[in-house]
Structure 1
Amino acid sequence: MAGETGPVDISRALAMLMAGFFTLACWNVIEIAYSILTTFHRYSGLYFWSMVIATLGILLHAITSFLRYFALAPNFPMCFLICLGWYAMVTGQSVVLYSRLHLVTTHEHYPRWILYMIVFNFCALHIPTTILFLGANNGVTSFVEPFNIYERVQLAGFAVQETIISALYVWETTTSLRPVLALKGPRGRKVVMNVVVVNVIAVLLDASLLTTEYTNHFDVQTTYKPVVYSIKLLLEFTVLNNLLAVIRTPPSSIQEVNVSEVQRDEAHIGPLQSGNHLDLTVDPERSSPSDRRGSSRESFVKTHEFWVANAHHG
C-alpha cells in the first residue's frame, strides 16, 4: 500500500521528494502567516478567520502526514489530526473565496449557492472519507478498498467545487466588475488579468493533484496536497487584496478615464443601472455581504454615477 494504512516503504528518491514537499509547504505557510499579520489591522471577520484556519490546516496536514509516513509518531492519532488539517485546508480555502465573493458579483444569490455547495460537499465528501480512512487505519480491512475508491471521488469533487468558484470569479470580474475597473485605467486592467491568471493556475494545480492520485501515488498526493493548497492560498490572498485595494481607490482625475473602454464595456454587458451596482466600499477586514453598511452603498452609487456621467460628457 502507498500509505493508506500506515507508514510507507519507499525509495530514497521518493522519500526526498516527499520531504521536499513538506519543506515547501511549511515555508509557504510561514509566508502566508506573515502576510496575514501585516495585512489585517483587526483580527476579526470571516475573511480573517478563514485565512487563519486554512493556513493552520495546511501546516497541520503537512506535519502529521510527514510524521505518519516515516513512522515518527503513532499512526492512528496522526490519522485523526490529518483529517482535522484536511478539513481546515480544503474547506477553509473555499470559505476564503466565498468570503470575498461579494466584491465581484452583483447577484446576491451567487454567494448563497456557493455556501450551500461548500456545506453539502463537506457533508458528502469529508465525512464519509474520514470514516473510511479512520476505519482502515484501525484494523478494519474491509474499509481499505472503499476508502481507495472514495478518496478519488472526494478529490475530484473538491476539484470541481474549486473550479466552479474560480470560474465564477473570472466570469464576474470580466463582466459585472469590468466597467468599474475600467475607470481605474491600467491598474484596473492589470487586476482583471491577475484574477484570470491566478484562477487558471489554481485549476491547473488541482489537475496536477488529481494526476498524482489517479496514477496510484497516494503517498505523493497527500504530501503534495499541502503544497498545492499553500500556493493557491498565497496567490488568492494576494490577488483578492489587490482587487479590493483597486476597487476602493477612486480615479485620480476624470481625465484619466478611458471613455471608449467604458462605452465598449457597457455596450457588451449593458449599462449599469442605479439599482444594480456593486457594493464596493467594503472595509478590507469585513468578510461578508452582511458586514456592509447601507450608507456606504448609497455613497458609492452616487460617486460611481458621477464618474460615468463625466466620462461620457468630458
Structure 2
Amino acid sequence: MAGESGPTELSLPKAMTIAAFFGVSVYNSIEILFSIFHRFRTHKGLYFWSMLIACIGIPVHAIAVLLRNFGLAPSVPMCVFIILGWWSMVTGQAVVLYSRLHLVRDEKKLRWVLMMIITNFAILHLPVSGLYLATNINPDNTRLTYIFSVYEKVQLTGFSVQEWVIAGLYIWGAYSALNPILKFKGPRERKVLRYLVLVNLIVIAMDGSLLLTEFTDNFEIQTTYKTVVYSIKLKLEFYVLNQLVFIIHNPTSPTFRTPQESEPAPSTEDRAESVTVIAKARMRSCEKKRHHDKGPTPDGHARPYVNSTLRHFDTHSEPDPWLSSSSSSSSTSSPSSANSSSRTVSWTRRCALLASLLNL
C-alpha cells in the first residue's frame, strides 16, 4: 500500500496538495506559538504546557512527513520524528481539552476522562508506532503493512471518538456552569455559549473529514492533512479561550451596556448562585495548593487557607451597584434578601478568581 512502508512516487496534484497542507500547518503552528506566550501571564500549568507541546508537535510531524514522502531523508529516522510529533500533536490536544474541562466539570468525574486518554495512548499510540517502524524497516513484508493499515484506521477512529466524548462533556458542562453567570450578562455575552458549542461542532466535523481521507485509502494525504486539522483545532482553542476571557472580564454594570443591551438586574438568588460557581472553582484550585501550607499559625490555630482567599476579595471590593439599588428600592423584601443585598461583593473581582485558574 502506498506510503505506509516508505516514500512513493507522487502525482503532481498529490504533491501540490501535500506541500500546501505543509505550509498551512507550519504557518498556523508558528502563529499559535507566539499567541501562547502572548496570552498566558505565567508559563505554567497543565493547560499551558499541553498546548505548547501540542503546538510543537505539529511542525515536527509535518516536516518529517514531507521529507519522508518526497524521499529527501532516510525513511526510518523520519519515522521516529513522525511518531514523536504524532504523540505530541494528538495526545497533547486531548490533554488541552481535558485541562479545559476543569472549568466546567466535577474533578472527580474527570478522572475517567484522564483514564481514557492514558488507555488510548497505551492501546492506540504504542502499537501503531511499533507497526509503523516495523513496516518501514521491512518494507517488503506485505502482511505487516496490511496489519498496520488496518490498525491505522482503528487508532484514527479511536482518537476521534475520544475528542468527541470530551467535546460533548465540555458542551454539557459549559451550559451548566456558565449559565448562572450569563444570567446577568447582556445578549452579546450570552451568545458566547452558542459560539462555544459551534466551535466544538466544527472540531467534530473536522475529525469526520480526517476519517474520510483515511477510509478512502489516501494515506499520504491523511498524514499531511492531519497536521492542518490539529493546527486549526488549536487556533479554535484560542477562540474558546478568548471567549471565556470575554465572559470573565467584560463589565457587568448596566452603565457599560448600550441601550439595546440594557436589562433588568438579576435577582439576588441568581447572583448568589453565580458567586457559588466561582467560589467552588477557587476552592478546588486552593485544595491543590494546600500541601504547600499545611502547618498551623504561630498561635496554634489552623490556617484559614480558602476562607482568607475569598475574604480578601470581599473586604477589598466596591459596593455592587445592582445590589445597592435593589436594597434601596425594595422596602418589602424579606430580612434574608435584605442582608444579601447589603453585601459589598464586587462581581468583577469574583470573576477574576476564575481567570486565575487559567493563568490569564
Give the TM-score taking structure 2 as reference length: 0.74
Q: Secondary structure at the match of 1:80?
A: helix
Check the 8 A contact 1:163/1:203 in 2, yes or no.
yes
- Aligned equivalents of 2:321, 2:148: Cα separation in 1: 57
Asked whether the 8 Å contact 1:152–1:214 carries over to 2, the reply is yes
Higher relative contact order (CA 8 A, sep 6+): 1
Instruction: Return the offset for 1:172.
Output: 1.4
Report whether the alignment pairs 1:136 with 2:143: no
1:246 matched residue in structure 2 = 247
How large is the RMSD of aligned CA atoms in angstroms? 3.2
Residue 339 of structure 2 is matched in structure 1 by: none
Q: Give the aligned partner of residue 119 of structure 1.
A: 118
Structure 1 stretches lacking a partner, 5+ long: none
In structure 1, what is the equivalent of residue 288 of structure 2?
Answer: 290
Structure 2: how far apart are the matches of 1:238 and 1:247? 14
5+ long unaligned stretches in structure 2: 291-304, 330-360
For 2:102, what is the secondary structure of its paired residue? helix
1:98 paired with 2:98, answer yes
Q: CA deviation at 1:276?
A: 6.2
| Structure 2 match to 1:170 | 171
- For residues 288 and 209 of structure 1, the distance between their equivalents in structure 2, rounded to whole angstroms, comes to 40
**Do 1:62 and 1:226's aligned partners in 2 also have CA atoms closer than 8 Å?**
yes
Pair 1:296–1:18, CA change in 2 (3 A):
farther
Q: Distance between the aligned counterparts of 1:156 and 1:248, measured in 2?
A: 38
One-letter amino acid of the structure 1 residue matched with residue 128 of structure 2: T
CA distance in structure 2 between the partners assigned to 1:68 and 1:77 by the alignment: 9
**Per-residue CA distance 1:58-116 (angstroms, 9 max, x = gap):** 110101000000001110000011000000000001111111212223x2223222111
Q: 1:310 to 1:139 in 2, by over 3 A?
A: farther
User: 1:1-314 counterparts in 2 under 5 A?
Assistant: 1-105=1-105, 107-139=106-138, 141=141, 142-249=143-250, 251-253=252-254, 258=263, 272=273, 279=280, 290=288, 294=306, 295-296=308-309
How far does the alpha carbon of each residue in 1:193-214 deviate from its partner, in whole angstroms, 9 at most, with x for none? 2211110110000000000000
Query: Given that residues 198 and 235 in structure 1 are in contact (C-alpha distance below 8 angstroms), is that contact kept between their aligned partners in structure 2?
Result: yes
Shift in Å, 1:310:
7.7
Superposition deviation, residue 311 in structure 1: 9.9
Aligned-pair identity in percent equals: 46
Question: Could you tell me whether the CA contact under 8 Å between 1:7 and 1:69 is conserved in 2?
Answer: yes
Pair member with larger Rg = 2
Select between 14-23 and 242-251 the one with higher mean Cα deviation: 242-251
Is the Cα contact below 8 Å between 1:169 and 1:195 reproduced in 2? Answer: no
How many residues were matched structurally?
Answer: 301
